[in-house]
Structure 1
Amino acid sequence: MLIYQLIITVCLLAFLGILLWNMRELPSLPKHKPETGSPLVSVLVPARNEENNIKRCITSLLHQDYDNYELIVLNDGSTDRTGKILDMLLRSDGGALLRIIEGKALPPGWHGKAWACDQLGKAAQGELLLFTDADTYHSSDSLSRSVAAMQESGADLLSMTPRQEMRSFWEKLVVPLIYFILLCYLPLKLVPATPAPSLCFANGQFLMFRRRMYKRIGGHAAVCTDLVEDVWLCRAVKRRGGKVMSYNGIETVNCRMYRTFDEVWQGFSKNLFAGLGYHSFGLFFLMVVTALVYIVPYGFVIASASSADFSIVYFWFPLLQVCIALLCRLLIAGRFRQPLSGALLHVFSQVVLLGIAVNSFYLVKFGNGSRWKGRRYNFSGKDG
């Protein structure tokens, strides 16, 4: 049992070390405008049933301090008030800057976001293409600072980690796990430093491509069946010899991904198994690690305290493990402006993650596929 406790503790210390390295190395965007010209940027927003977000998003994008960009929004068959809100924005604030296009019917073999972005990419005229989600909103300098970062870094694909806006209990409990998994498991410095496509990160909430690289990888047609398309786009860029850069974007971009428990459950269930390439073993391994590293230590602490067994193996090692995991969550919450309440409930976050993992697997293997915004998807094939 001592060896087991040592292994779990070493794993957590390794995760803490990766987190501290990432927090030190993850760069912020330059605070100045581009110094070597202002290439045309096409800002591209796919929107489906975004009546709660679209006005704030488009208004923020219409008021950028960058002087050479176009804004194209694709209404992807919305059944709510998204289209009406876009028309209102076009009349009141859009001027010559905003262009709205109606999405074509979803063809077989595509998921909705990839199809919408493919149409946007074909409509764009810019040298730089920024794909950003309709549930984001941007500071007035986000575009100029991002272009400056592209120029200084020489990146072919630039992505960032926005500040996640969380208001409901379930948002605060689950959404921060995105940052936890990313920052504790993946050394981000290695993404641009190594050519290996497996070492990859990109956030689909903000993806800025050089047009030539976007065309070289085949655009979104290359990821038409990949529900976690941002990661696969990143891998495609690296396979083509391109450079991928990630930045801390909490000063420039905000995003509210979900609002209700149902949205949190559906969204994470859609992405989790798909993000692992529908590999059953990978999902099972993640579940085992989650249980052993983050949940079981609480069981040891509670059981030992209840029986007054304060031994090193059954109480103090597990307590240390609990504290390391909490420290990781608190560090992330402080750096990325997340609610501390969610960090303190870390063990419950991990329990919910296990439930999401089971649901994600069930929907693909035994159900009708993942459901999102009125559409169902299952691109798992026969293997996995």
Structure 2
Amino acid sequence: MDLDTILLGLNGLLGVALVAIAAFYLKLTQSLASAPRLQPAATPLTPAPSVDVVIPAYNEASNIRACVEAVLTTEMLGSQQFEVWIADDQSTDATGAIAAELAAQHPNVHHLAVPPRPDGETWRGKNWACAHAAEFAQGDYLLFIDADVRLSPGTIPAALAEAQTHRVDLLSCAPKIECSCFAEWLVQPIMMSAIAIAYDFNAINESTAVEDAFAAGPFMLFRRAAYDQIGGHAAIHAAIVEDVELARQIRRHGLKLRYVLGIDLLSVRMYSSFATLWEGWTKNYYLGTEENLPLTLLSAFTIAMVFVMPWVGLLASLTVAWLQPELSWPTAALYGLTVLTLGAYGLLRITGYRLVGVPLRYWWLSSVGGVIVVAIALTSIVKTKTGWGWTWRGRSLKAS
């Protein structure tokens, strides 16, 4: 294969990449620019609703104290007390001890030792812990958050005000994604951008179709009566992507769902290492497309075109300039398309940062992040189909 043939192939791929980046940009800005944002509550709610905060926790010794202490800073704009339930899901680390200590220190914090799952029933993920804790909660609203979520003092009253203003039965908030380890900086901005495109805020809020329902698991505020009406977590006990299934249950029962940006009031650090990031995303990626193989492969191809191909073009341009200094039309096209794709990619990242603070750190290594995401997508297909290595926090997700 001669150089001109290789250049023609590269130019074709760069052309596809340019179209993919443009489409990605348009969809991302459409989703984020008009997304409703959770705002601090200005006045007390009348009457002041009661709320129970449920935190399912399995081996969360590194997170649970900071999570609960953040919740306890809540500035309720009313006289009613809120309760916090730590559902310790048979942790093997110090989670239980820390939860017991917090419960002893604060009268509205409760430590629940979740019993083993019932024999003969398939309960996946945090569904069992959430269902168990919900039996004890008595508030008008049930708020489920993950142990790695950090709330600002105004988050809960803002969410209650939003839920009551729009008369919703389930309010879910997309949190700000915190990145600390190197793998997070590479992968999380790509994943968050892809999710924002796949689940357009206005489309979710305006639709009444079950298939359009979506919710973000780190923050889900239910009207208690609605939670009971749909059967709670018990109704979706075998679901792995439980947040989306609960949102669909809300729609199936003719109840109202609302999805908003909560990045100004709450944050989450989803993973602390490459190993946990890999386990988490390979668990969910294929399920997120409802096990649609063509869609999963298309999404992986799109990620490769948007986040990897511009840098392949740059590497190819530098290589060709060194090997063949004389300019020909294929090399000129390569240089031009490389500049265009890199410029379009830069605009995409800057726009994401401007709209919702998508991190720019290590942006020049996005090709590495893109390759990792493509590998996650392909691995997720294999794990989900075969059950090999399909785990979360070491617990197998394969149906027994």
Same fold judged by TM-score > 0.5? yes
Unaligned runs of 5+ in 2: 1-7, 322-327
1:319 aligns with 2:332: no
**2:27 is aligned with 1:18:** yes
**In structure 1, what is the equivalent of residue 285 of structure 2?**
272
Match of 1:98 in 2: 109
**What is the letter of the counterpart of residue 103 of structure 1?**
V
Q: How many residues align?
A: 378
Check 1:63–1:186 CA distance in 2 against 1; reply closer, same or farther (3 A cut). Answer: closer
Is 1:343 the counterpart of 2:363? The answer is yes
Report the counterpart of residue 27 of structure 1 in structure 2: 36
Judged with a 3 Å threshold, the aligned counterparts in structure 2 of structure 1 residues 113 and 155 are, in CA distance, closer, same or farther, namely: same
1:84-139 Cα deviation digits (max 9, x unpaired): 111111222x12x1121111212431113111111122222112111000111211
Amino acid at match of 2:146: D
Instruction: Give the residue type in structure 1 aligned to 2:36.
Output: P
CA change 1:253–1:4 in 2 (3 A) is: same
Which of residues 98, 101, 117 is equivalent to 1:88? 101
User: Is 1:149–2:158 an aligned residue pair?
Assistant: no
Distance 1:53 1:125, change over 3 A: same
2:361 is paired with a residue whose SS is helix
Query: Separation in 1 of the partners of 2:173 and 2:103?
Result: 28
For each residue in 1:236-257, what CA deviation from the matched residue of structure 2 results, as whole angstroms up to 9, or x when unmatched? 2223222222222122212111
Report the equivalent of 1:300: 313
User: 1:26 touches 1:188 (CA, 8 Å); kept in 2?
Assistant: yes
1:220-244 deviations in whole A, cap 9, x for unaligned? 1232222111122112222322222
1:197 corresponds to: 210
Q: Calculate the aligned-residue CA RMSD, in Å.
A: 2.4
2:76 counterpart of 1:56? no
In 2, Cα distance between equivalents of 1:59 and 1:27? 28
Identity across the alignment (%): 30
Q: How far apart, CA to CA, are the structure 1 residues paired with 2:255 and 2:163?
A: 13
Distance 2:357 2:310 in 1: 27
- For the Cα contact (< 8 Å) 2:65–2:99, is it kept in 1? yes
**SS state of the match for residue 222, structure 1?**
helix
Counterparts of 1:326-365 in structure 2, within 5 Å, are 326-365=346-385
Q: 1:202 to 1:344 in 2, by over 3 A?
A: farther
* Gap regions ≥5 residues in structure 1: none
- Report the CA distance between 1:313 and its aligned residue: 4.6
* Residues 157, 251 of structure 1: alpha-carbon distance in 2 compared, 3 angstrom cutoff: same
| CA gap 1:362/1:44 in 2 versus in 1, 3 angstroms | same
Deviations 1:288-329 (Å, cap 9, x if unpaired)? Answer: 222334323432343234324675753323432333233323
Larger radius of gyration: 2
In the superposition, the TM-score normalised over structure 2's length comes to 0.87
Q: 1:130 to 1:151 in 2, by over 3 A?
A: same
Deviation at 1:259, TM superposition (A): 0.8
Structure-2 residue corresponding to 1:37: 47
